């Protein structure tokens, strides 16, 4: 009986110790006057670890890499303007290759048309702005060559030669289209199409007939026709997301031939694929916006709100100024919680990012992904970074990003990390226009305020 009473008492003390530690910043060895402290671990919890939030100016993004694995699938084109993040303009450039070289035009009867199509990403939550309004795009012939073996960044632009087409559409993200040109029965993914000026199309065909070497090799063709630029009209109110891996994206020449007194229809495809360069050029104008005030330090409460935007928009910086009270601990779980402030930005017209990403800024090497963002070598496994719906005690629903940063925070506590600050950005920033406003480290609402939730074992 004595043994059973002691075991029951031991278990009671252990339960009391664990329960009393929940909600405390640092545990104390409750019951240590009865049992040796080395006989059990002390579990601690804190949601008051000091942190400082700020925003930093975004840098240019890599938008083309010769290696296929690092090429973007989507390129952004359009204009958006809001009082929080300012005005963003984006245009796209691409070159073509021939689907077949040295085409035979000896039996050609007439040229029907030259059409350029660019596929649309079907998920409208990746679009920003007024997607239901008519949008006008201009197509220019490039006057400057792209090099498929070069790497390009979003602050680079390319000279234009002449305007060759204009189209106005209300973008349709979901419905396929059926070609009605000649007898072509191809079904195309949702797209924006340009019918290129007839004189331009006729000139290309005439030059190819006069000088067949133009279409003998891709290199020769890319010298003759350097590519196109898709440019949004200043009246546009949307940032479109073009799909450059879709077979729909490309340029097609439709023409008629006479073979043994029979008229047939034919086409020549100018394709876009992994060995053609395609780039995006971003321009951000923050003038008069809330982001401008936050970036130049004139915002009245600079750490109240966090602004994060895709493209070359701002990133967030999270610092932990003092973790000295957390000596000799093992970090069991460290979750950075960032809550969306919904009442400032229209998140229907400007959807929030699907994922946030975390990096370190390392001197001389630039941004490198946080170790937690690559769980077991798999990107984002265990990191999360997506917005959850959460409900507070009063029934209010919030959207909250939760980022697991346990490994990185352990290195901060241990003092083994040279670059402890965390930089947050939109995942896939170069091909995403989404933006979000989050509660910062000094937000007055405790449900929205940025915080770290820490569970640890005291050694």
For residues 196 and 207, membership in a common domain is answered with yes
For residues 156 and 305, membership in a common domain is answered with no
Give the residue from 409, 412, 390, 407 showing the smallest Cα distance to 399.
390
For residues 297 and 279, membership in a common domain is answered with no
Query: Residue 124 — left, alpha, or beta (φ > 0 → left; ψ -120 to 50 → alpha)?
Result: alpha
CA 305 from centroid of its chain's CA atoms? 21
Spell 261-285 as b/e; 16+ CB within 10 A means b. eeeeebbbebbbbeebbbbbbbebe
Is 233 in contact with 75 (CB distance < 8 Å)? no
- Residue keyed to tokens 């396929």: 176
How high is the mean pLDDT of the chain? 90
**Structure token pair of residue 96:** 């073509």
The one-character DSSP state at 15 is H
- pTM value is 0.88
The percentage of the chain sitting over the pLDDT mark of 70, rounded to a whole number, equals 90
Whether 206 is covered by a domain: the verdict is yes
Instruction: Report helix, strand or coil for 80.
Output: strand
**Structure token pair of residue 16:** 């009391």
The contacts of residue 153 (CB under 8 Å, 6+ apart) are 60, 61, 62, 63
Whether 68 is covered by a domain: the verdict is no
Report residue 26's pLDDT band, with 50, 70 and 90 as the boundaries.
Answer: very low
For residues 247 and 344, membership in a common domain is answered with no
DSSP letter for each residue of 232-250: E-TT--EEEEEETTSTT-E
> Which pLDDT value is given to residue 392?
87
Q: How many CB atoms lie within 10 A of CB 164?
A: 21
> Which pLDDT value is given to residue 379?
66
What distance in Å separates the CA atoms of residue 156 and residue 154, rounded to the nearest whole number?
5
Give the residue from 399, 390, 392 showing the smallest Cα distance to 439.
399
For residues 149 and 237, membership in a common domain is answered with yes
> Which of the listed residues 231, 260, 285 is the one where a domain comes to its end?
285
What distance in Å separates the CA atoms of residue 12 and residue 31, rounded to the nearest whole number?
10
Report residue 375's pLDDT band, with 50, 70 and 90 as the boundaries.
Answer: low
Whether 42 is covered by a domain: the verdict is no
* CATH at 454: 2.60.120
Rounded to a whole number of angstroms, the distance between the first and last alpha carbons of the chain is 34
**Residues in a beta bridge with 3:** none
- Relative to beta strand 62-64, strand 97-98 is unpaired
> Which pLDDT value is given to residue 457?
96
For residues 300 and 278, membership in a common domain is answered with no
What distance in Å separates the CA atoms of residue 381 and residue 385, rounded to the nearest whole number?
10
Give mean pLDDT, residues 349-378. Answer: 89
For residues 442 and 361, membership in a common domain is answered with yes
- Residue keyed to tokens 């040279």: 418
Domain that holds residue 344: 47-57+287-458
Whether 433 is covered by a domain: the verdict is yes
Give mean pLDDT, residues 327-349. Answer: 95
For residues 430 and 352, membership in a common domain is answered with yes
> Which pLDDT value is given to residue 241?
97
> Which of the listed residues 285, 302, 336 is the one where a domain comes to its end?
285
> Which pLDDT value is given to residue 14?
36
Give mean pLDDT, residues 346-350. Answer: 94
Whether 8 is covered by a domain: the verdict is no
**Residues in a beta bridge with 142:** 160
Whether 65 is covered by a domain: the verdict is no
> Which pLDDT value is given to residue 27?
41
What is the H or E stretch that residue 384 is in? strand 384-391
373: phi then psi, degrees, rounded to nearest 5: -75, -5
> Which of the listed residues 285, 312, 345 is the one where a domain comes to its end?
285
> Which pLDDT value is given to residue 229?
98
For residues 117 and 261, membership in a common domain is answered with yes
Report residue 364's pLDDT band, with 50, 70 and 90 as the boundaries.
Answer: confident
Whether 162 is covered by a domain: the verdict is yes
Report residue 380's pLDDT band, with 50, 70 and 90 as the boundaries.
Answer: confident
Instruction: Report helix, strand or coil for 324.
Output: helix
What distance in Å separates the CA atoms of residue 242 and residue 201, rounded to the nearest whole number?
24
405: phi then psi, degrees, rounded to nearest 5: -125, 35
> Which pLDDT value is given to residue 459?
87
**Structure token pair of residue 152:** 């390009």
Residues 273-291: pLDDT tens digits? 999 999 999 999 999 999 9
Whether 240 is covered by a domain: the verdict is yes
For residues 303 and 452, membership in a common domain is answered with yes
- Residue keyed to tokens 């450059």: 244
| Total number of domains constituting the chain | 2
Report residue 31's pLDDT band, with 50, 70 and 90 as the boundaries.
Answer: very low
CA-derived radius of gyration, the chain: 29
For residues 319 and 260, membership in a common domain is answered with no
Residues 111-123: pLDDT tens digits? 999 999 999 999 9
Residues 57-85: pLDDT tens digits? 999 999 999 999 999 999 999 999 999 99
For residues 364 and 276, membership in a common domain is answered with no
> Which pLDDT value is given to residue 68?
96
């Amino acid at each position: 009986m004595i043994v059973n009473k002691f075991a029951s008492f031991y278990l009671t003390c252990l339960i009391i110790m664990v329960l009393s530690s929940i909600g405390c910043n640092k545990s104390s060895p409750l019951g240590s006057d009865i049992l040796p402290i080395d006989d059990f671990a002390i579990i601690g919890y804190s949601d008051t670890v000091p942190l400082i939030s700020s925003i930093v100016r975004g840098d240019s993004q890599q938008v083309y890499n010769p290696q296929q694995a690092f090429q973007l699938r989507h390129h952004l084109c359009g204009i958006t303007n809001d009082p929080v993040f300012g005005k963003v303009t984006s245009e796209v450039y691409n070159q073509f290759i021939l689907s077949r070289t040295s085409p035979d035009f000896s039996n050609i009867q007439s040229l029907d048309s030259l059409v350029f199509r660019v596929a649309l990403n079907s998920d409208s939550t990746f679009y920003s702005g007024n997607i239901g309004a008519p949008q006008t795009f201009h197509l220019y012939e490039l006057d400057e060559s792209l090099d498929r073996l070069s790497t390009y960044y979003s602050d680079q632009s390319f000279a234009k030669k002449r305007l060759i087409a204009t189209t106005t559409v209300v973008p349709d993200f979901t419905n396929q289209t059926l070609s009605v040109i000649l007898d072509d029965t191809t079904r195309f993914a949702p797209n924006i199409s340009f019918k290129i000026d007839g004189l331009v199309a006729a000139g290309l065909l005439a030059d190819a007939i006069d000088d067949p070497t133009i279409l003998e090799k891709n290199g020769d063709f890319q010298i003759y026709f350097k590519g196109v630029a898709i440019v949004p009209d200043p009246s546009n109110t949307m940032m479109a997301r073009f799909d450059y891996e879709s077979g729909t994206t490309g340029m097609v020449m439709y023409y008629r031939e006479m073979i043994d007194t029979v008229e047939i229809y034919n086409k020549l495809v100018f394709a876009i694929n992994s060995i053609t360069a395609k780039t995006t050029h971003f321009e951000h104008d923050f003038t008069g916006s809330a982001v401008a005030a936050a970036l130049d330090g004139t915002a009245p409460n600079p750490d109240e709100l966090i602004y994060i935007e895709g493209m070359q928009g701002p990133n967030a910086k999270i610092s932990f100024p003092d973790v000295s009270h957390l000596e000799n601990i093992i970090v069991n779980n460290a979750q950075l919680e960032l809550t969306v402030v919904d009442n400032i930005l229209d998140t229907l017209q400007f959807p929030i990012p699907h994922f946030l990403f975390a990096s370190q800024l390392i001197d001389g090497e630039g941004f490198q992904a946080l170790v937690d963002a690559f769980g077991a070598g798999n990107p984002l496994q265990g990191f999360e970074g997506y917005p959850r719906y959460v409900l507070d005690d009063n029934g209010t629903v919030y959207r909250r990003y939760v980022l697991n940063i346990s490994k990185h925070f352990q290195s901060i506590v241990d003092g083994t990390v040279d670059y402890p600050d965390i930089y947050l950005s939109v995942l896939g920033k170069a091909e995403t226009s989404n933006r979000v406003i989050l509660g910062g480290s000094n937000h007055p609402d405790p449900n929205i305020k940025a915080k770290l939730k820490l569970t640890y074992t005291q050694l």
